[in-house]
């Protein structure tokens, strides 16, 4: 990993009507729009959905790194995050983020350790640490019926 600070560049461009295009170096551009709740079409990603998805994505990617560093084997992680946009003291902002994480581990793996590592991943997630809204993490750990198999 490169030393800190890390810098990221992204751009948005649009016209008076229609989609806004997001772009970043070496990445595919894509259209966005306001969500249906804010008079948008509701059929494109918008900043609110992107922020919420980014939190879920960051938790999965951070867990991957935490589990790898801890030599913890796991099969799958699904994170679903709900962000609540509200008006607080006249300012529109996200007031809370609730993440539901479903972690599947191989038979014989410690459920308690899985939970601790997932909690650590949420605490270490740089996106989560950059948000003001209240964050909650609900964890479900599922043990696979059969031990993990590796094919040669």
Find the radius of gyration of the CA atoms of the chain: 18
Q: How far apart are CA 69 and CA 117, in angstroms?
A: 10
Q: 54 and 118, same structural domain?
A: yes
Question: Using an 8 Å Cβ cutoff, are 95 and 83 in contact?
Answer: no
3-state SS of the chain: helix, strand, coil percent to 5?
Answer: 30, 30, 40
**Count of the separate structural domains present in the chain:** 2
Domain limits for position 151: 46-152
Q: What is the pLDDT of residues 104-141, one digit of tens each?
A: 999 999 999 999 999 999 999 999 999 999 999 999 99
Tell whether 93 and 124 lie within a shared domain: yes
Q: Model confidence over 19-45: pLDDT tens digits? A: 999 999 999 999 999 999 998 999 999
């Amino acid at each position: 990993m490169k030393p800190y600070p890390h810098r990221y560049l992204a751009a948005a461009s649009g016209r008076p009507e229609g989609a806004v295009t997001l772009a970043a170096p070496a990445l595919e551009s894509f259209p966005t729009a306001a969500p249906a709740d804010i008079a948008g079409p509701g059929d494109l990603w918008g900043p609110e959905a992107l922020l919420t998805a980014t939190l879920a994505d960051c938790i999965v990617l951070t867990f991957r790194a935490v589990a790898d560093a801890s030599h913890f084997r796991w099969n799958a992680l699904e994170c679903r995050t709900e962000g609540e946009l509200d008006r607080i003291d006249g300012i529109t902002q996200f007031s809370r983020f609730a993440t539901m994480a479903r972690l599947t581990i191989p038979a014989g793996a410690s459920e308690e350790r899985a939970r601790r590592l997932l909690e650590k991943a949420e605490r270490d997630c740089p996106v989560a640490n950059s948000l003001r809204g209240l964050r909650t993490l609900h964890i479900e750990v599922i043990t696979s019926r059969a031990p993990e198999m590796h094919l040669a």
